[in-house]
Structure 1
Amino acid sequence: MVNWMEIDQQVKMWIMEAGSSIRESFQHSLSIQTKSNPNDLVTNIDKETERFFISNIRKTYPGHFILGEEGQGDELASLEGIVWIIDPIDGTMNFIHQQRHFAISIGIYENGIGRLGYIYDVAHDELYYAERGNGAYMNGVRLPALTEVPVEKALIAINATWLVKNRYFDEKKLVSLASRVRGTRSYGSAALELAYVASGRLEGYLTMRLSPWDFAAGKVLVEEVGGVVTNLWGQELDMMKTNSVFAGAPGFHKKILTDFLLKK
């Protein structure tokens, strides 16, 4: 039988240790490399932080599997068993340029079901975490259930680049939505934007393309406060592939899907 309470305490200890090391790195120069394109960056801190988590997981939970952004985990064909889905620094560009608005993101899944989720805003020392069936918290304070907010009073997160012509979705629908809500924001970290939805700082978050390590933890958080996380067509996310993502409170999520995203 899995002792989720024990795992929860262990993960929090590792996150705090990793966060402290990242803050210390602010005083040192970074080694920066590009990945798929010039704006897809990875630093030595990303790699070192992922190695830190992987090493500890391998030693403490040798029967578990790891899916990590920087490629140091396992080659997985499914989420069978217990799988840790890790993004050591979500928002690397923010980390490089601003040393804020980035997060450690860890989702722990059992046979494809999200059991634990952690998003740690390193610069602000805010730890969002959730256990399936036991609610979501920020620094020990339980987050309340999400309530529906009218579209005209909603604040949503969406990257401005998606409001111009793109090959993923009808941008006219997104522009129509952006013009109706109270305001839009873009923080440059999917993990934080999902945490902000879970904590009520945002009513919704929409994006065209995220990998599992970008949304695995946030999905657990949002769902634990009654929110809904799907793709932009209202379908379940594929935890093994890149997805579009739309997260929000249940009533708000349904209204946006009906009145904007799925409207002919």
Structure 2
Amino acid sequence: MTETNWQQLQTDVVALLKEARRQVLAKMHQTLTVDEKTSRKDLVTNVDKGNEQFLIGGIRQLDPQAQILGEEGFGDQLTSMAGRVWIVDPIDGTMNFVKQRDNFAMMIGIYQDGVGQLGFIYDVMNDVVYAGGPVVGGVWANDQPLTAPANLALADGLIGMSAPLVIHDVAHTQAIVHASAGMRIYGSAGIEMISIMRGKTLGYISHLKPWDFAAGQVLLNTLGIRTSTIDGQPLNMLSSNLVLVATEQAQRDILRIEEDDVSL
């Protein structure tokens, strides 16, 4: 794919995700095979694995020369972001998928030499695909263009959080919550990022792996939302990060709390 038709590629990926949704919904009410990865709160199911294999198979057809990083390990072993790299999360929010059958997403991010080109977050149960990026000039929720969320200060909006970070007060998260209008927890990075795109929350802080933030970073950056480490540095696309996603003003407020070592 030397000359990329990004608009056509976006259309093709949305179609792939739609078929993946159809397959996932067909399996949802069957008996799931659920295994623990790192702990009893870090789950993987047969649906996660099967969906990743399906998505990677489709990506190989669309972009045979690309490298693919998948959460469940069915892609390639990447050591750099050179060339075209697709980053795939087949079921984001697996605990929600297992316990609620709701509030989970599928996510794909496409990068060229480390720069985000297209992102896709599929709110599966609401059947809304958030897709777009700088190469297509915007972000859409299905066919509806999204406008940039209001650039709110931390005090003026709600913030999404990872519960363990707040419980253990990692990186002054209790002070950040105290300085905001309140905390919300959705249990899925994809759903959290949709909330920010929709202007329902102004930020999100969590410890995330590349497949958790790759798609969202492309979409959010296209809409003017900042993504960084908790201390304001660029994210490492091949490793875990303590991720801060926020409006420009809220990011500035949060970094001030980090820099001042504030404890409220």
- Smaller-chain TM-score range? over 0.9
Supply the distance in 2 between the matched residues of 1:60 and 1:247 (Cα, whole angstroms). 30
Counterpart of 1:68 in structure 2 is 70
Structure 1 residue 85: deviation in Å?
0.1
Superposed, which structure 2 residues align to 1:188-227 within 5 Å? 188-207=187-206, 209-227=207-225
Counterpart of 2:142 in structure 1 is 139
Supply the distance in 2 between the matched residues of 1:137 and 1:190 (Cα, whole angstroms). 18
One of 149, 153, 156 as aligned partner of 1:153: 156
Q: Which runs of 5 or more structure 1 residues have no equivalent in the other structure?
A: none
Supply the distance in 1 between the matched residues of 2:129 and 2:59 (Cα, whole angstroms). 20
Distance 1:153 1:60, change over 3 A: closer
Q: Describe the superposition over 1:63-112 as per-residue Cα deviations: whole angstroms up to 9, x where unpaired.
A: 11100000000011001111110000000000000011100000011110
Letter in 2 for 1:156: I
Letter in 2 for 1:176: A
Counterpart of 1:107 in structure 2 is 109
Supply the distance in 2 between the matched residues of 1:157 and 1:192 (Cα, whole angstroms). 10
Letter in 2 for 1:200: G
Counterpart of 1:175 in structure 2 is 174
Counterpart of 2:236 in structure 1 is 238
Q: Does 1:256 find its partner at 2:259? A: no
Structure 1 residue 27: deviation in Å?
2.2
Letter in 2 for 1:125: D
One of 27, 38, 43 as aligned partner of 2:45: 43
Structure 1 residue 195: deviation in Å?
2.1
Q: Which runs of 4+ in 1 moved over 6 A?
A: none
Letter in 2 for 1:190: A
Q: Describe the superposition over 1:190-229 as per-residue Cα deviations: whole angstroms up to 9, x where unpaired.
A: 122122212212101011x211000000001110111100
Q: Percent identity?
A: 37
**How high is the TM-score relative to the length of structure 2?**
0.94
Structure 1 residue 22: deviation in Å?
1.1
Distance 1:261 1:31, change over 3 A: same
Supply the distance in 1 between the matched residues of 2:147 and 2:28 (Cα, whole angstroms). 34
Supply the distance in 1 between the matched residues of 2:62 and 2:110 (Cα, whole angstroms). 15
Structure 1 residue 127: deviation in Å?
1.1
RMSD: 1.3
One of 52, 55, 58 as aligned partner of 1:53: 55
Supply the distance in 1 between the matched residues of 2:152 and 2:214 (Cα, whole angstroms). 25
Q: Describe the superposition over 1:120-145 as per-residue Cα deviations: whole angstroms up to 9, x where unpaired.
A: 01011121111215111112211112
Supply the distance in 2 between the matched residues of 1:160 and 1:123 (Cα, whole angstroms). 23
Q: Which runs of 5 or more structure 2 residues have no equivalent in the other structure?
A: none
Structure 1 residue 256: deviation in Å?
2.0
Structure 1 residue 35: deviation in Å?
1.1
Q: What secondary structure does 2:76 align onto?
A: coil
Q: What secondary structure does 1:235 align onto?
A: coil
